[in-house]
Amino acid sequence: RKEVEQDPGPFNVPEGATVAFNCTYSNSASQSFFWYRQDCRKEPKLLMSVYSSGNEDGRFTAQLNRASQYISLLIRDSKLSDSATYLCVVNMGPGGSYIPTFGRGTSLIVHP
Amino acid sequence: NAGVTQTPKFRILKIGQSMTLQCTQDMNHNYMYWYRQDPGMGLKLIYYSVGAGITDKGEVPNGYNVSRSTTEDFPLRLELAAPSQTSVYFCASKGQEGSPLHFGNGTRLTVT
């Protein structure tokens, strides 16, 4: 079983749609969870951290479910500019240092 | 504030050549990481460092070496380049255990 798993997609949605991605992780001792956005193999850029209570940033909502070991990202009112690959990152532990471990990414294509 | 700086941006190597990918950060971050990303795949950890003088292997360390003589610099060395090392290489840093990663712009390496 891979440590961090994501559905690679692509998710093809029209503008204005709501779309959700999930990411599962294998290590129950994991700490710190993030969603990154990556465009055309440029460097990943932080989209948002994921907190236990859930958090929202504009059209984006992130949730953490520790019991089922997954995190989710919800995008409302999709824009053309949201087209990108969304990477899930989990700091895998335990140990002296938690290693940021990436999923392979989920591709989102927003069309007119 | 430059953040994380990687050089070079692009490089073509012949099989058997060696090179050093440079990475420097000006944020006084203790944690630094080298990842590689192959087409359609997530980022895989090559080596990481939790502070000056300390380095450790990641998931795919074979064929690479690193050093961390200062807090700022974390160079990645390829001794005998092989076609399998054709990839995009990202350096990243973070200040604290639960913090998100800051990425450099990446180095696109082709070995022929």
> Residue-wise pLDDT tens for chain B (112 aa)?
689 999 999 999 999 999 999 999 999 999 999 999 998 888 999 999 999 999 999 999 999 999 999 999 999 999 999 999 999 999 999 998 889 999 999 999 999 9
C-beta separation of A33 from A71 below 8 A? yes
Instruction: Write out the two tokens for A61.
Output: 């909502």
Best residue of B21, B91, B96, B103 to probe chain A, by most A CBs closer than 10 Å:
B103
CA of B16 to nearest chain A CA: how many angstroms apart? 26
Q: What value, to the nearest 5°, has the Cα angle with vertex B103 and ends B97 and B108? A: 140
**pLDDT single digits (tens) A11-48:** 999 999 999 999 999 887 888 899 999 998 799 999 99
Q: Which of residues 50-69 of B touch A (CB under 8 A)?
A: 50, 56, 58
